[in-house]
Amino acid sequence: MFSGTAVYALRAVVYLAEHSEERPVRVAEMAANLDVPQNYLAKILNELVHSEILNSTRGKHGGFQLAVRPDGLSLLAVVSPFDRIEQERRCLLGRSECSDHTPCAAHHRWKELGTQLAAFVQETTVADLLGN
């Protein structure tokens, strides 16, 4: 459903929500705990900084912190720099305009699934992923 990169981003954001309240968290610490390649994670975190989801501070005692409150951060916001999930809602058979003109029998249920997925990523926040 999500790309590997997007899942990394979600895991990282959850980790920061749980650990970066006070001090910034270093990439090395996160990479070790989340089992993500460190340099790759650094790039992902950097993109999240550009998306204004994280703050970063360089130098000694630097690291990453959440820039917004977890309950105001939707999964869609975290994931969208990496996955274009809006495109998931196309025709099952890849036809360009199946839906409007000549929907097949399965089309409506299929579209409903896409709608539910979209609602999930929009309405679910990082706060909903905490506490385990």
Q: Specify the residue for token string 């900084």.
A: 49
Residue selected from 1, 23, 37, 86 as contacting a copy of itself according to rule CB under 8 A: 1
- Residues between 1 and 60 that touch DNA (CB under 7 A): 3-5, 8, 24-28, 36-40, 42-43, 45-46, 49, 56-60
* Backbone phi, psi, residue 22, to 5°: -90, -65
* Distance (Å, whole) CA 38 – CA 43: 9
**Binding of DNA by 92 (CB under 7 A):** no
* Cβ pair 14, 130 in contact under 8 A: yes
- Residues between 40 and 99 that touch a copy of itself (CB under 8 A): 75, 88, 92-94, 98
* In the complex, least distance from residue 67 CB atom to DNA, rounded to whole angstroms: 12
* Cβ pair 118, 71 in contact under 8 A: no
CA atoms within 13 A on the CB side of 48: 32
Q: Is 74 helix (H, G, I), strand (E, B) or coil?
A: strand
* Contact residues for DNA, defined by CB under 7 A: 3-5, 8, 24-28, 36-40, 42-43, 45-46, 49, 56-64, 82
* Contact residues for a copy of itself, defined by CB under 8 A: 1-2, 7, 10-11, 14, 75, 88, 92-94, 98, 102-106, 109-110, 113-114, 116-117, 120, 124, 127-132
